[in-house]
Amino acid sequence: MNDCSALPPNWEVRSSRTYNKTYYFNRETKESRWDPPTGETPSRMRASHILAKHRDSRNPKSWKGVEITRSEEEAYEKIADIRQAIEDNELDFGDIALEESDCSSAKRKGDLGWFEEGKMQPAFEAAVKALQVGELSQEVKSDSGIHIILRTG
């Protein structure tokens, strides 16, 4: 058995029956990894989003299999309208993400889960970092399309 004394807090060594090797598991965040964790804690954040792709997005297809034909301006308008309805308490963020988002995270009501700094597109990550937990962003443009982001952690 591996010596766990050198592991950062909340980490433990576990054994994978499937791959017949050890891995590391964080009891607090539920993260698992093959490589040993370091003592450094990367900046982590959590967010949900609603994405409106447009025909010039890097992948102009919805997770629903639909080809996207709207213009960038139409995507901005769609997201601005959704944002306003959320702000006016006419729509629930998760419910409208499920219906309207072009990202597959829509299945989880827009939840992207926890992610580390450097894992998302720069414009998206910068917008998340600028938000307080519970705060809703203005419209954010990335290579994927136009987003509204709700910081959740």
- Is 144 a known active-site residue? yes
* 103, 105, 137, 142: the active-site residue: 103
Exposed (0-12), middle (13-18) or buried (19+): which is 74, by Cβ within 10 Å?
middle
Q: Give the pair of three-digit tokens for residue 79.
A: 């997201």
Taking phi over 0 as left and psi of -120 to 50 as alpha, with beta for the rest, 151 belongs to beta
Single out the catalytic residue among 48, 62, 101, 144. 144
- Does the annotation count 54 as an active-site position? no
Selecting among 54, 62, 142, 147, the annotated active-site residue is: 147
Selected catalytic residue, list 49, 57, 62, 137: 49
Residue 103: active-site member: yes
Phi-psi region of 37 (alpha: psi -120 to 50; beta: other; left: phi over 0): beta
Annotation marks residue 49 as catalytic: yes
4 is catalytic: no
Query: Which residues does the annotation mark as catalytic?
Result: 49, 103, 121, 144, 147
